[in-house]
Amino acid sequence: MPYSEQTVRSVRPWSNRTFSFTLSRPQDFAFENGEFVTLGLKREGKLVARAYSIVSTPDRDYLEFLSIHMPDGPLTSQLVRIRPGDSVWVNSKATGSLTLNHVLPGRTLYMLASGTGLAPFMSLIRDPELYARYEHVVLVHSVRTAAELAYRDEIEALADAKLHYVPTVTREPFPTPQRGSDLFRSGELSQRLGLPAPDPAQDRVMVCGNPDMTRELTRHLKDAGWTPTNHRGIGNFTTELAFVVHHE
Q: What is the pLDDT of residues 64-88, one digit of tens each?
A: 999 999 999 999 999 999 999 999 9
DSSP H helices, 113-160, are 119-125, 128-133, 152-158
| pLDDT above 80 (res 138) | yes
* Banded pLDDT at 244 (limits 50, 70, 90): very low
Round to whole Å and give the CA distance between 189 and 81.
38
123, 57 in Cβ contact below 8 A? yes
Domains delineated in the chain: 3-91 (2.40.30.10), 100-239 (3.40.50.80)
Residue 224: other Cβ atoms inside 10 A? 12
* Banded pLDDT at 241 (limits 50, 70, 90): confident
State percent of the chain over pLDDT 70. 97
Round to whole Å and give the CA distance between 98 and 172.
30
Q: What is the mean pLDDT of residues 42-56?
A: 94
Q: What pLDDT, on the 0 to 100 scale, is given for residue 2?
A: 93
Residues 6+ away with beta carbon under 8 Å from 211: 244, 245, 247
Q: What pLDDT, on the 0 to 100 scale, is given for residue 247?
A: 41
CA distances from 185 to 25, 171, 182, 200 (A): 39, 20, 5, 13
3-state SS, one letter per residue, for 78-99? HHCCCCCCCEEEEECCCECCCC
Q: What pLDDT, on the 0 to 100 scale, is given for residue 243?
A: 55
CA distances from 134 to 17, 72, 160 (A): 33, 41, 14
| pLDDT above 50 (res 50) | yes
State percent of the chain over pLDDT 90. 93
Task: Name residue 66's beta-bridge partners.
Answer: 20
Q: What is the pLDDT of residues 175-187, one digit of tens each?
A: 999 999 999 999 9
* Banded pLDDT at 200 (limits 50, 70, 90): very high
3-state secondary structure of 247: coil
243, 112 in Cβ contact below 8 A? no
Tell me the pLDDT of the chain averaged across its residues.
95
59, 238 in Cβ contact below 8 A? no
Q: What is the pLDDT of residues 87-132, one digit of tens each?
A: 999 999 999 999 999 999 999 999 999 999 999 999 999 999 999 9
3-state secondary structure of 186: helix
Task: Give 211's Cβ-side CA count (13 Å radius).
Answer: 8
